[in-house]
Amino acid sequence: LLAVSNAAVEKPLILHQGGPTYHMVTNAAIMLCHLLNGLHSNRMSGLKDNGEMEAALFEEILDTLLAVRKLLNIHRRKLPVRLRCHGIPRPNLALLAGTKPGNDPECTSIFSSSGQLIDLGDTLMCGCRGCQGFVLMACSPCVAAERALAAKRNIEADAYMEDAMNEGGNSVGWNTDLLDVGDFDVEDDALLSVLSKVISQ
């Protein structure tokens, strides 16, 4: 995500290429917004120690997002309305006044009222359904389809196991007719003779 955004910042003319390049860069910026919101919520929760590496990553992503957001907004204004992708909302930088809620009561109240560093509910949505999934589901349409398919399979497997338990009380769902092999009332010598004939043939 950072590589795509930095490439667009370094060479803005790629946004004018034919095809979905502009939409891909915009959706990469949207994914950076989701990532920033997650990192910020980890910082504010204080449930785990945030090391220097995570703080540096947060600063790098924030700088990249601000740069690519400015670039995308300038490009977006030049396009007809039907060709425009998302209008990315501005980060609420007032939330960055304190690193943890305990440090500043005013920052705590701001955080509890708004919740996220970047409120993606204020996004001006693209008309393309594929692009909308990046904002609403925080993933690409392919990943969303894979998740839906996996959830459907899990539901079907649970329903099958439940039906098997209700029908025969067999928790595994095996066919009990296959387990009924009859009684072996034959003597051991007779069985050994049959086996020896089979082996000899």
| Amino acid 105: pLDDT | 45
C-alpha distances in Å from residue 159, one per residue of 116, 173, 175, 176: 38, 11, 17, 20
Contact by Cβ (8 Å): 26, 86: yes
> 126 Cβ partners below 8 Å, 6+ apart?
23, 26, 84, 85, 86, 132
Average pLDDT value over all residues in the chain: 77
Please determine, for residue 67, whether its predicted confidence score (pLDDT) is greater than 90: yes
Contact by Cβ (8 Å): 125, 86: yes
For residue 124, the cross-strand partners are 87
Strands annotated E in the chain: none
For residue 144, the cross-strand partners are none
Q: Which of 97, 25, 92, 114 is nearest to 64 (CA)?
A: 25
Give per-residue pLDDT as tens, 18-31.
788 999 999 999 99
- What percent of the chain is predicted at pLDDT more than 70? 76
Give per-residue pLDDT as tens, 122-164.
888 888 888 888 888 877 778 878 888 888 888 888 888 887 7
Determine the Cα–Cα distance for residues 16 and 105; give it in Å rounded to an integer: 46
Give per-residue pLDDT as tens, 70-90.
999 999 999 998 888 888 888
**Within 10 A of 93 (CB to CB), how many other CB atoms are there?**
10
Cα angle at 147 between 151 and 166, to 5 degrees?
A: 10
Extract the tokens encoding 191.
Answer: 């069985």
Give per-residue pLDDT as tens, 161-194.
887 777 755 545 455 554 454 555 556 667 677 7
Please determine, for residue 10, whether its predicted confidence score (pLDDT) is greater than 90: yes
Please determine, for residue 108, whether its predicted confidence score (pLDDT) is greater than 70: no
User: pLDDT band at 9, cuts 50/70/90?
Assistant: very high
